[in-house]
Chains A and B, each alone.
Chain A
Amino acid sequence: AQKVTQAQTEISVVEKEDVTLDCVYETRDTTYYLFWYKQPPSGELVFLIRRNSFDEQNEISGRYSWNFQKSTSSFNFTITASQVVDSAVYFCALSEIYKLSFGAGTTVTVRA
């Protein structure tokens, strides 16, 4: 069975600080996909990134960056120079074909 663990329940930072969200996954498949989603207070989940199991290159998109390490089964997410608008719940997810499983989420609060 696949499993996604986000050990950090809540993180609080002051604006402009960097914040890193941890994600550890378990799967028996050799082919799988990993995702990060953001859930603002409105409730709707917003897709941030998708990474397949064969692509271990790190990715940067503006203030967001992702570090995928297959050896440790981790797919961590860093927000650089955080802003108040980054306050949300962030979910890591694992996909095997059509079954998409989520972690418990990390609530990020950025204080002005």
Chain B
Amino acid sequence: DGGITQSPKYLFRKEGQNVTLSCEQNLNHDAMYWYRQDPGQGLRLIYYSQIVNDFQKGDIAEGYSVSREKKESFPLTVTSAQKNPTAFYLCASSGLANTEAFFGQGTRLTVV
């Protein structure tokens, strides 16, 4: 089936550890996105990538890093510099500019 796969669905980490969230798409989309969702704050853009080997910071990039070595993959690393990492993280992809984005099922990260 075509779509976006995020793994794992639930992730627990100790404070101070880096953690990498996986996002894979088989839709042949050029653009990929990472969003963070907190209760009452909607979706906030962390990073986005329009093409392979290129990415831009979104509105809340501090404490996060990404890579885009392959078209189908856009992993997000939550570093120890992120002060409040516990949240629901959503990955998305889109084809041409300004077309609808397709979302994965999300990863709920809890840092204890």
Q: Closest Cβ of chain B: how far from A66's Cβ, in Å? A: 14
Count contacts on A: residues with CB < 8 A to the other chain.
Answer: 24
Count of inter-chain pairs, beta carbons less than 8 A: 60
Given A33-B98, A98-B50, A100-B33 in contact, is the A43-B88 Cβ separation under 8 Å? Answer: yes
Interface 1/0 per residue, B74-112 and A, CB below 8 Å: 000000000000001010101001111111111000000
Interface: B48 (CB within 8 A): yes
Q: Assuming A33-B98, A45-B103, A52-B98, is B31 touching A98 (CB within 8 A)?
A: yes
Contact B97–A98 (Cβ < 8 Å):
yes
- Say yes or no: B40 contacts A9, CB within 8 Å: yes
In whole angstroms, what is the CA distance A7 to B88 when docked? 22
Of the listed stretches A12-20, A57-65, A77-85, A102-110, chain B binds: A102-110
Q: With A44-B105, A104-B40 known to touch, is A95 a contact of B98 (CB < 8 Å)?
A: yes
Residue B2 lies at the interface, judged by CB distance under 8 Å to chain A: no
Listed in ascending order, the chain A residues whose CB lies under 8 Å from chain B are 6, 9, 32-33, 35, 37, 42-45, 47, 50, 52, 91, 95, 97-105
**Cβ-neighbour of B42 out of A50, A97, A98, A103 (below 8 A):** A103
Q: Is B43 an interface residue (CB 8 A)?
A: yes
Interfacial chain B residues near A42, Cβ < 8 Å: 105
**Cα of A62 to Cα of B43 in the assembled complex, Å:** 27
